[in-house]
Structure formats: C-alpha cells, structure tokens
Amino acid sequence: MSRAGYSASMSPVMTRARTSTGAGVIAILLLVLAFGNQAYVEWAAKHAQGANAWDLLLRTLAWPKWFVTSGGNASRDVIAFDIRALLLIVFVAALLGMAGANVVGGSGAFIVGWFAVIAGAALAALLTAFITTDASFYNALQSAASASIYGLFVGWIVGIMAALTRRPAVSAA
C-alpha cells in the first residue's frame, strides 16, 4: 500500500484529533518554557507588581515556574516546581488527547483546550504540593486554586491554538 493510499484511508476525526492535540501541546510547552523559566519568573516578580490587568497577566504567566538552579529555594521546593511544570504539560496533553477525538468543530477544540489547562494545572499543583517543604492539605488546595487561575487566564491561548488547527485535505484515491 502506498503512502498516499494510507493517508486517504485515515479517519478525518482522528486526523483532527491529532492536530488539535499537537497544537495544544506545543502551545502549553512553549508557554511553560517561555514564561516559567527562572529568568522570566524573577523578572516578573520585580517588574510586574502593578494593580492592573497587564501586570496580573504577566505575573500569572510565571505560575508554572521551573528552575535550573535553586536560587535560594529549598531543594524539595525546586523539585516540586520542576515536577509541577512537567506534569502540567503531561496532563494537558492527556486531556487534549482523550477529548480530541470527540471534538469536531473549532469552538469545541477551543473549550477543550482551555479546560485542559485549567484542570491540568490544578491537578499538577494539587499533586506536587505534598512534595514542598510546607506540605499540607490546606496548602495543596490553595496551590490548586492558584493553578486554576493560571488555567483560566492563560488556557485560552492553548484553546485558540487547538481551535485554529485544520486537518489536512483527504484525497479520495
């Protein structure tokens, strides 16, 4: 069977699911890498302290912080933050992958992408809060709450990327 024959027999729903999932995963990966890195987190902590929407967004973008060096933080906290950023990407990918096959339209992909970031961030924060130096159930719930704010304010970017993906044209061979 030729390669062209294989692509013509692929299900359009499965192709759409893969492209929406891939776009959403790439979007969350880029967001975590660009705005969760140690340099941006430190910059946002110093420069985005105003009481306006723009500074709130800049601070929120820094939520999935990950570290290359400890920077004065306890090693348990550094490990927890690094695992949290990784779990955020994994959970968003899993949620997009599971729901992507059932999404047909662009608006559906937008909602699924946005929800995946809200739920993925909250779950990642809830699980990794027990690794930190101040681990408690209360702190885990607080961490999940701040994570869901991240998902609410930033998840629309992943939703847009998932909704904008178009499946390739399938030729009838």
pLDDT (0 to 100) of residue 149: 96
Are the CB atoms for 144 and 122 separated by under 8 Å?
Answer: yes
Determine, yes or no, domain membership for 135: yes
Cα 156 vs. chain centroid, distance in angstroms? 10
Whether 6 shows a pLDDT value over 50: the answer reads no
What would the mean pLDDT of 133-160 be, rounded to a whole number? 94
pLDDT (0 to 100) of residue 58: 94
What would the mean pLDDT of 95-120 be, rounded to a whole number? 85
Determine, yes or no, domain membership for 3: no
Tokens in use for 160? Answer: 């847009």
Determine, yes or no, domain membership for 96: yes
What would the mean pLDDT of 121-133 be, rounded to a whole number? 94
Would you place residue 107 in the very low, low, confident or very high pLDDT band (cuts 50, 70, 90)? confident
Determine, yes or no, domain membership for 6: no
pTM for this one?
0.81
Determine, yes or no, domain membership for 172: no
pLDDT (0 to 100) of residue 156: 94
Determine, yes or no, domain membership for 170: no
Determine, yes or no, domain membership for 169: no
Would you place residue 133 in the very low, low, confident or very high pLDDT band (cuts 50, 70, 90)? confident
47-106 pLDDT, tens per residue? Answer: 999 999 999 999 999 999 988 776 667 788 889 999 999 999 999 999 998 887 677 657
130 Cβ contact list (under 8 Å, min separation 6): 140
Tokens in use for 77? Answer: 């906290």
Domain that holds residue 136: 12-164
Domain count, the chain: 1
Determine, yes or no, domain membership for 2: no
